[in-house]
Amino acid sequence: MNILQQAYDLNSFKKRGELLIDHICKTHQSRESRKVIPHCHPDEQYQYWKNSFTKQSDPLELFENVINRSILYQHPNYMGHQTAIPAMSSVLASLVVDYLNNAMGVYEMGMVGNAMERVVAEHLCEKFALGDNAGAFFTSGGTLGTLTAIMTAKTHFLNNNKDSENLCILTSDQAHYCVERAALTMGLGQDGVIKIAVDDQYKMDIEQLKEQYNRAISEGKKVFCVVGSAPSTSTGAYDDLQAIGNFCEQNNIWFHVDGAHGAGVIFSSKYNYLVKGIEKADSIVMDFHKMMLTPSLCTAVLLKDKQYSYDTFRQKADYLWQIEDNDWSQGGKRTFETTKSMFILKVFTLFKEFGDTIFEAYIDNQYDLARGFASSILQNDKFELAYIPQSNIVCFRYINCENSNHFNNLLRQEIIEDGTFYLVQTTLDGKVYLRTTFMNSETTAIHTDKLIRFLEEKAENLKILNSKI
Contact window for ligand PLP (CB under 6 A) among 1-9, 151-159, 227-235, 359-367: 227-235
CA distance 131 to 366: 30
CB of 291 to ligand PLP, least distance (A): 9
Beta carbon nearer to ligand PLP, 85 or 260: 260
Sign of CA dihedral 360, 362, 363, 368: positive
CB of 239 to ligand PLP, least distance (A): 11
CA distance 315 to 306: 18
CB of 91 to ligand PLP, least distance (A): 19
Hey, which residues does 78 pair with through a beta bridge?
422
Q: Does 178 bind ligand PLP (CB under 6 A)?
A: yes
- Give me the 24-43 binding string for ligand PLP, x by CB under 6 A, dash otherwise: --------------------
Q: Does 172 bind ligand PLP (CB under 6 A)?
A: no
Residue at 117: amino acid letter: E
Among 141, 264, 332, 389, binds ligand PLP (CB under 6 A): 141
Q: Calculate the alpha carbon distances from 134 to 61, 221, 275 in Å.
A: 48, 29, 18
Closest residue to ligand PLP in the complex (CB): 142
Hey, which residues does 299 pair with through a beta bridge?
139, 287
CA distance 144 to 341: 14
For 200, residues 6+ apart whose C-beta sits below 8 A from its C-beta are: 387
Q: Does 239 bind ligand PLP (CB under 6 A)?
A: no
Among 75, 203, 221, 261, binds ligand PLP (CB under 6 A): 261
Q: Does 295 bind ligand PLP (CB under 6 A)?
A: no
Q: Does 333 bind ligand PLP (CB under 6 A)?
A: no
Q: Does 440 bind ligand PLP (CB under 6 A)?
A: no
Backbone angles phi and psi of 198, in degrees to 5: -110, 165
For 68, residues 6+ apart whose C-beta sits below 8 A from its C-beta are: 38
CB of 130 to ligand PLP, least distance (A): 19
Q: Does 349 bind ligand PLP (CB under 6 A)?
A: no
Q: Does 363 bind ligand PLP (CB under 6 A)?
A: no
- 90-115 burial code (b ≥16 CB/10 A, e <16): beebbeebeeeebbbbbbebbeebbe
**Nearest C-alpha neighbor of 287 from the set 102, 71, 81, 80:** 81
CA-CA-CA-CA dihedral for 60, 61, 63, 64, to nearest 10: 120
Contact window for ligand PLP (CB under 6 A) among 108-116, 138-146, 205-213, 433-441: 138-146
Residue at 392: amino acid letter: N
What count of Cα atoms within 13 Å lies in the side-chain half-sphere of residue 278? 30
Burial label for 384, CB within 10 Å (0-12, 13-18, 19+), is middle
Contact window for ligand PLP (CB under 6 A) among 54-62, 135-143, 184-192, 343-351: 135-143
Q: Does 391 bind ligand PLP (CB under 6 A)?
A: no
Q: Does 278 bind ligand PLP (CB under 6 A)?
A: no
What's the N-to-C CA distance of the chain in angstroms? 65
Contact window for ligand PLP (CB under 6 A) among 69-77, 125-133, 254-262, 351-359: 254-262
Contact window for ligand PLP (CB under 6 A) among 155-163, 184-192, 211-219, 256-264: 256-264
**Nearest C-alpha neighbor of 287 from the set 256, 257, 255, 262:** 262
The interface with ligand PLP within residues 296-325 (CB under 6 A) comprises 297, 299
Beta carbon nearer to ligand PLP, 46 or 177: 177
Beta carbon nearer to ligand PLP, 171 or 349: 171
Q: Does 176 bind ligand PLP (CB under 6 A)?
A: yes
Q: Does 234 bind ligand PLP (CB under 6 A)?
A: no
Q: Does 142 bind ligand PLP (CB under 6 A)?
A: yes
| Count of positions on this chain that bind ligand PLP (CB under 6 A) | 15
Q: Does 86 bind ligand PLP (CB under 6 A)?
A: no
Residues that bind ligand PLP (CB under 6 A): 82, 141-143, 176, 178, 229, 232-233, 258, 260-261, 287, 297, 299
